[in-house]
Amino acid sequence: MNAKGPPRWAEFLLERALPARDREVVTGDLREEYAEFLRPQFGALRAGLWYLRQVSSLAGRSVGEGGTMGRLLLLSSAVTAMCGAWLVLMELLLRHPGFAARVVVALLIVAAGLATLLARLLHFGVLFERGLWVAAAGLIALGVVSFLRNARAAHFEGFVFIIAIVLVLQGALMLATLGRQGNQNRKIANASL
């Protein structure tokens, strides 16, 4: 990259946020605008801020991909990641017997939520493709086990009930949408060979 180009990390983020078809063309257009017009005219700071605004506007396109199921997957992934983080925090604060194992499970829930968000928003689906089926099955199994154990427990926990349902939902949506995204990525890769 030449020294007058946009910040390397911002360009990397943009590349990841774009579908394969647009990657080269759009990053090229924005780099040209940055280097030939904005930076000489307004300086590195304002040109950098403009570039970041364009990255966020283009990353927003990923939210709409996959239709209603895609958006539901984003929502459920964000919920599971936040719930997992909350569980980690509470377990570490309360330190009931056996908390270490529960922290590990909660961290796995956070990781599953964040990984799915990355796969959807930044088109990392191909990287996760091999582990997709295992991860989705794991989420569904964890959700079902949590649901059943909670239903049989002496004290019913509404929070666990919600997480269990969202985990099953996320797993099912992952199978439905990321699998399809992987097929599309393969088609694009084959077409460009």
Partner 1 sequence: MSDLVGPFEQAVLLAILRLGEDAYGRAILHQAQESLGRGVAAGALYTTLDRLEQRGLVRSKLAPGTAARGGRARRYYFVAAEGNRALADARATLARMWRGIKLPATVKS
Task: Confirm or reject binding of residue 63 to partner 1 (CB under 8 A).
Answer: no
For residues 98 and 62, the answer to whether their CB atoms sit within 8 Å is no
Q: Which of positions 30-49 make contact with partner 1 (CB under 8 A)?
A: 30-33, 35-36
Determine if 54 is a binding residue for partner 1 (CB under 8 A). yes
Footprint (CB under 8 A) of partner 1, residues 91-120: none
Contact between 57 and partner 1 per CB under 8 A: yes
Site for partner 1 (CB under 8 A): which residue of 46, 61, 95, 186?
A: 61
Using the contact rule CB under 8 A, the part of the chain among 17-25, 83-91, 156-164, 169-177 near partner 1 is 17-25
Per-position DSSP letters for 36-64, written without gaps between them: IIIHHHHHHHHHHHHHHHHHHHHHHHHHH
Contact footprint for partner 1 (CB under 8 A): 1-2, 5, 22, 24-33, 35-36, 53-54, 56-61
